[in-house]
Structure formats: structure tokens, C-alpha cells
Amino acid sequence: MESNNKNLNNNQTSISYKPLKDKNIIFALTGSIAVFKAIDFIRKLKGLGAEVFPIMTKGARKFITPLTVSALCGHKIKEFFLEDQDPDISHIKLSKEADIVLVAPASANFIAKAATGICDEILYAVLLATRAPVIIAPAMNSFMFTHPITQANLETLKRLGYTIVESPVGDMACGSKGPGRLASWEIIKEEILKSICEQTLQDKNILITAGPTREPIDPIRFISNRSSGKMGFELARVARRRGAKVHLVVGPVSLEPPYGVKIYKIETASQMLDTVLSLLPKMDIIVMAAAVADFTPSFYNEKKIKKGQNVNKLTIDLVKTPDILLEISKRKKEEQIVVGFCAETEDLKDNAVKKLKNKRLDLIIANDVTRAGSGFDVDTNEVLIIDKNESILHLPLLSKIEVSEKIWDKIESLL
């Protein structure tokens, strides 16, 4: 039996997303107090499907025990040279089998040695021997981090093609404040997933809209809808992982914005229109996943509308908002690709095809928002992807990130 969305737990998704399935990750921990945070990354990497092979430098072993790390990974800590009379040279075998090498936290000492090629522990030998992407997440006191030597060493590692994860500014274990903190899991995860993604959208400028708009009635009240921004945010994450420069125009939502994309916050449909049109000329692809209000109050009351005695009814006149997609289609250059979404409660396909034609779109993504697990404020969606020839691809209920991957695959086929 189908249930309405409002009966579902918002964070509930029975569909697991395993983008690191069959991937071998060498996870190296070095001597930094932030190593305690990185312990949690093991569970998260495994949650994404990865096989995690741990390495610990001597420094890391001063902060936590190898037993904790190996127990969580389900693999012994790799040691230099022969282990258990294993005829394979462990660091070479490990390097060959690795899909990614992650160093988190990366201490100043590690960064200095890695930049010079010093090779006195297994981690450094692995770095020299591997041809897998290397991701380094620094963590140290901010004076050590900003020291010209550390910065020069990081530049060297960047030049070698390593990904250096941005280190956020914040409170340090030593009591000072500044850059040098270990990046959050969200940021490290995005860099890992980007490193294994083919860069099929490299340097494309992509405009995505997400979330609801909010149409004010008075200083207290507004008209809006149930869009959470999840669909648009996942589209932005996947595009960024594939190398795009993402511009995300977003209405009022409570989610943390995706990492590595440019955010433009708006409130009303008319503000969304202005922002979108100002960005339009430089964009290659435009995807309108936002739930834009179709109507807005014809009049904004500067003061709160009072209940008043004997007033049992209030009528608010609404006028149509600008149709942003239609305005885009009128102005768009031949080579720009425009993708719309369509939220329906009945006749999904027919209504979607009408919108595809009326708004002159290259593609439309249609979701029936009355279906369980689909549409507003859930982590999953079931959609139809319809192109100009009305050929239809039906995606079953999937996580919104997987839906986004399939949508980008389809958009890329139009490039």
C-alpha cells in the first residue's frame, strides 16, 4: 500500500549507497592529536563500502594503539619489509593494490618527509611506490601550519599531484585559534569520491537551484513549500565530484551546503530569477531542482496582520511569480543545456511532457510527490527522466545521490 510522504521519517532510507565498494583504501595515521577524530573515519569509509588497510607512523602510535586501529579496520597494521615470512614485499604489494591513499591526520613531520622523499617508515615507501591518488589532510598547530616551510612542503606535494584537503580555521587542541585543524569528514569524503570519479564535467560551469522559495505576507508570515534542498544539493555534490564549477542558488533550507560549490542564498522567486539570470550567460548547464512558489501575495503588509475582533476570515490575493525556466529558455544560447524538474500528484508523464515542451527544456526529471519515499524532504526519489524526443528512463526508488549520478550520466550524453 502506498503511504503519503508526510508519514515517513525524513532521514529514513533503506537504500544504502556504497560508492567505495571494491575499493582498497590505504588509511595512514600520523602523529597528531587529531588522530582520535580520524578513528571515526575508518567506520565511515567502511560504511561507504571500502576495504581499509591501516598504516600508522611511529608518531601516531604515541597517541593511539595499533590494536584499536587494526580492530576497527579488520586488517593488521602494515609493517615495513616481510610480515610473517610473507614472500611479497608488503609495501610494494600494498601500493599496487591501493585505489586511494588517505593520510589523515597528516602531521608537519609527515608532510616534510613526504615532500623530500625520505623513506624511513612503510608509509613513505608506499607513497613513492603507489600510483593511486593520494589525499592528505593536514592537522597541526596553526603556527606550524602557516610556517613557510610547511606551506612550501604542501606546495611541493600539490605539484606532485597530491590532493591537499583544505584545513579549516578554528579552536586548536593547544588553546590557540587558526588554520591547521583536521578537515571534517564531509570534506574528506568529497575529496575521496572526487579522486575516483572520471572528470567528465571538468571545468563546466553549472547552475543548480535547490530548496523552496519563501513569499512574504507580512514580517511574521510567508507562503512556502516542503522542499528541503536535498535533491538539488546531491546534484551539486555529484557535479563537483565530476570536476564541474558549481553555482548553487538556494532558498531557505536547514541543511549544511555541499562542500566546494559556490552558494547564492535567496528567499523569494523574484530574487531567484534575478540571481539565475545574472549567472546565466556564463553557464554551460542549468538544472532547476528548486520548488519555486507559483504564486506570491500581491501585497506585502509592512506591519503584522492582526486578528482583530469579529474577524473570522482573511483573504490574501496572490499573483503569479515569474516562470524562471521560461525566462531562461527565452535567453539561452544554443549550446546551453537546460534541465527542469516536475513535481506532480497525478498524470506524471503527461504533465511532465507538457512542461518539457512549454518551457522548451532539454530534459525534465519528473517525480510523483505522493509516492512513498519520493519527492519532498526524503533521502530517496523515484523519477522519470524524459528527453526532447519523449524517450523515458524510469529510475526506481534510489537514494537521491544515486538519482543524481544517473541524471548527470544522461545530461553528459547530451554534451
Q: How far is C-alpha 245 from the geometric centre of its chain's CA atoms? A: 13
Q: Taking the complex as a whole, how short is the minimal distance between the CB of residue 214 and ligand PMT, in angstroms? A: 13
When asked if residue 227 is in the footprint of ligand PMT (CB under 6 A), the reply is yes
The region of 130-138, 188-196, 215-223, 229-237 touching ligand PMT under the rule CB under 6 A is: 229-237
Can you tell me the distance from the alpha carbon of 149 to that of 81, in angstroms, rounded to the nearest whole number? 31
Q: What is the dihedral of CA 156, 100, 109, 139, to 10 degrees?
A: 100
Q: Which of 25, 135, 201, 369 binds ligand PMT (CB under 6 A)?
A: 369
The only residue of 95, 340, 371, 380 in contact with ligand PMT, by rule CB under 6 A: 340
CB of 168 to ligand PMT, least distance (A): 27
For ligand PMT, which residue of 79, 166, 284, 294 counts as binding (CB under 6 A)? 294
Paired sense of beta strands 318-320 and 295-297, if any: antiparallel
Catalytic position from the list 119, 174, 197, 342: 174
- If one asks whether residue 182 binds ligand PMT (CB under 6 A), the answer comes out as no
Distances (CA, A) of 276 to 77, 228, 246: 51, 19, 13
| 376 contacts ligand PMT (rule: CB under 6 A) | yes
Residue 375 interacts with ligand PMT (CB under 6 A)?
Answer: yes
State the Cα–Cα distance between residues 193 and 342, nearest whole angstrom. Answer: 29
Does 217 interact with ligand PMT (rule: CB under 6 A)? no
The residue from 215, 377, 382, 405 that contacts ligand PMT (CB under 6 A) is: 377
Distances (CA, A) of 330 to 210, 298, 326, 341: 21, 25, 6, 18
Q: For residues 41 and 233, which CB has a smaller minimum distance to ligand PMT in the complex?
A: 233
Name residue, grid cell 602531521.
Answer: 107
Question: DSSP string covering 99-148, please?
Answer: SEEEEEEE-HHHHHHHHHT--SSHHHHHHHH--S-EEEEE-S-HHHHHSH
31, three cell numbers: 602523529
Question: How many residues interact with ligand PMT (rule CB under 6 A)?
Answer: 27
- For residue 241, the tally of other CB atoms under 10 A from its CB is 28
Helices 269-279, 324-331: axis angle to 10 degrees equals 20
Phi, psi of 110, rounded to the nearest 5 degrees? -60, -45
* Using rule CB under 6 A, residue 230 touches ligand PMT: yes
Query: Does 363 engage in binding with ligand PMT (CB under 6 A)?
Result: no
Work out whether 355 is an interface residue with ligand PMT (CB under 6 A).
yes
Region near ligand PMT per CB under 6 A, out of 6-14, 63-71, 178-186, 290-298? 290-298
Structural element, H or E, at residue 337: strand 337-344
In angstroms, what is the minimal distance from the CB of 16 to ligand PMT?
19
325 lines the binding site for ligand PMT (CB under 6 A): yes
d(CA 398, CA 273): 30
Grid cell locating 85 = 615470512
Given 343, 363, 385, 386, the residue binding ligand PMT (CB under 6 A): 343
**Grid cell at residue 215:** 513569499
- Interface with ligand PMT, residue 101, by CB under 6 A: no
Residue in 291, 353, 356, 407 binding ligand PMT, rule: CB under 6 A:
291
Q: Has 342 been annotated as catalytic?
A: no
Residues annotated catalytic, as ranges: 174
The footprint of ligand PMT (CB under 6 A) covers: 211, 227-231, 269, 288-292, 294, 321, 323-325, 340-343, 355, 367, 369, 375-377
